[in-house]
Amino acid sequence: MADQDKPQLYLITPPAFDLETFPDRIAGVLDDHEIACLRLSLATSDEDFVARAADALREVAHQRDVPIVIDRHVLLVERLGLDGVHLMDGARSVRKIRKDLGADAIVGAFCGASRHEGLSAGEAGADYVAFGPVGLSPLGDGTRAEAELFAWWSEMIEVPVVAEGSLTPDLIAALAPVSDFLAVGEEIWSDDDPSGALRRLIGNWA
């Protein structure tokens, strides 16, 4: 259930980045902010690049005691020494992946704006459920996860909930009291100073 004081920050990588420079950018954010989890979220299907990126970011994250999960690529979790996986298909594969990876792995499930999908994922063994996008986004079909969903979830359900997708300072102010985690990614990476961008985004909440 959501901590009514404040949620934790959950950091998402951009879908593409330069392996020469990005680990230092991530390190700067992790050093300046208390981050609960890092998610490697790459658009590429180039297994070699994904593996090298995972190796580099795992080292940065684990040096700072931050767990790292990866989008979708379940088979890479154990091979690359990652802490878990973020599933993009709602509850569909949670039970199987939990069995495959074991009780200690982090298994998260993105459930769009579907309360039913979130409940099913929680019952199947997800460690957290993510809803989104919470803001206006050109991606997807225009469906948004509204604040009412998070308010209901935080009151009724024990499984931690993550708010993600096109966050703004106003949305953060509204969602902070009813979310366990706020997931930030694209909102900050286009800035030359992502750590400063994150500080401005979360504003007075932190």
Tell me what pLDDT residue 2 has: 45
Per the CB < 8 A criterion, the answer to whether 1 and 154 are in contact is yes
Residue type, 19: L
Q: Is this model's pTM higher than 0.85 or not?
A: yes
Going from N- to C-terminal start, the domains of the chain cover 8-205
Residue 1 has pLDDT above 60, yes or no: no
CA–CA gap between residue 10 and residue 58 (Å, rounded): 15
Residue 124 has pLDDT above 70, yes or no: yes
CA–CA gap between residue 72 and residue 206 (Å, rounded): 30
Tell me what pLDDT residue 206 has: 53
Among 8-17, 33-42, 138-147, the range scoring the smallest mean pLDDT is: 138-147
Helix axes 22-32, 194-202, angle to 10 degrees: 40
Give the model confidence (pLDDT) of 54-112 as tens digits.
999 999 999 999 999 999 999 999 999 999 999 999 999 999 999 999 999 999 999 99
Tell me what pLDDT residue 204 has: 63
Give the model confidence (pLDDT) of 134-193 as tens digits.
998 776 677 899 999 999 999 999 999 999 999 999 999 999 999 999 999 999 999 999
**Burial class for 56, CB neighbours closer than 10 Å (0-12, 13-18, 19+):** middle
Tell me what pLDDT residue 129 has: 98
Tell me what pLDDT residue 141 has: 75
φ, ψ of residue 78 to 5 degrees: the values are -70, -40
**Burial class for 62, CB neighbours closer than 10 Å (0-12, 13-18, 19+):** middle
In this prediction, residues 14-35 reach a mean pLDDT of: 97
Fold of 8-205: TIM Barrel (3.20.20)
Select from 77, 52, 79 the least CA-distant residue to 67: 77
CA–CA gap between residue 204 and residue 98 (Å, rounded): 37
